[in-house]
Amino acid sequence: MTKQPKQAKKSKKHEPYGKLSELFPGVYTINGELYTKSLVPGRRVYGEKLIHMNREEYRRWDPFRSKLAAAIKKGLKTFPFKRGSEVLYLGASAGTTISHLSDICIEGTIFGVEISPYMMEKLLKLAKERENIVPVLADARKPQDYADVGEVDILYQDVSQPDQPRILKINAERFLKRGGDAFLALKAHSIDVTKEKEELIDSVKEELEELFDIKQVIDIAPFDEEHYFLHMKRRA
């Protein structure tokens, strides 16, 4: 029997990370994980994974470290952050989520309000590398102390205080443009440990509806068991 020659194997293009897809403007998915395109290539902010595709560097956005990323993973429908967005971020902490917004809002400004001097020191270091971040050492309960911020497109709040809804409202009234988007990472037990979560959410919604149209309420478990995530629009 004549031995048949072996057929050459067809070569396949090697894709070590999988397919890159854009979920929202500036937010990408690779193998089911979230990424943003790094504004400062080669620099990690919180130990996140860096990958390189199409001559660009992308930073993994960890939903266990960022409530906004968790909300995206749990079905956030609206993501208004754009290249030129002006954002007021209350409760900036060390800048984990802000760093990813910095990757997205590359032509805008993110004002990060933080009351802790220790966290502010870390945020200042981050802002030295990312010029679209403006750190503000202040109490979010006193918006008059940072009145120079001016009008913003988006208000984002992650402040674990009993008066979280009131803090959001007084800042929105002063800074958020009419029709602008507001996001609240709501730590339910910081408001009232005696109420069931559903009862507490209903009371918070009732308070916020004085100023906002509530578009979505998301339970971000298992990424964070203590928080709900709300998306709202300030009434025009």
* Residue burial 60-70, b: 16+ Cβ < 10 Å; e: rest: bbbbebbbbbb
Give the per-residue pLDDT at 11. Answer: 37
What is residue 189's predicted lDDT score, i.e. its pLDDT?
64
The pLDDT assigned to 96 comes to 96
Judge if 48 and 100 occupy the same domain: no
Task: From residue 81, give the alpha-carbon distance in Å to each of 12, 98, 155, 183.
Answer: 37, 12, 11, 11
| Residue 86 within any structural domain of the chain | yes
Tokens representing 49? 């994974």
For residues 85 and 192, state if they share a domain. yes
Domain total for the chain? 2
Cα–Cα distance measured from residue 187 to residue 202, given in angstroms and rounded to the nearest whole number: 14
Bridge partners for 85 per DSSP: none
C-beta atoms surrounding 81 within 10 Å = 23
Are residues 107 and 157 located together in one domain of the fold? yes
β-sheet bridge partners, residue 214: 232
Judge whether 1 lies within some domain: no
Separation of alpha carbons 33 and 66, rounded Å:
13
What own/partner pairs with CB < 8 Å and gap ≥ 24 does 144-147 have?
Answer: 144/174, 146/111, 146/113, 147/174
List the domain range (segments joined by +) for residue 39.
20-60
Give a yes or no: residue 90 inside a domain.
yes
Residues in the chain with pLDDT < 50? 1, 5, 7-14
pLDDT in tens, 3-18: 554 544 443 444 567 8
Distances (CA, A) of 30 to 2, 4, 50, 87, 194: 48, 42, 12, 27, 41
Q: What is the pLDDT of residue 195?
A: 62
Residues 55 and 79 placed together within one structural domain of the fold: no
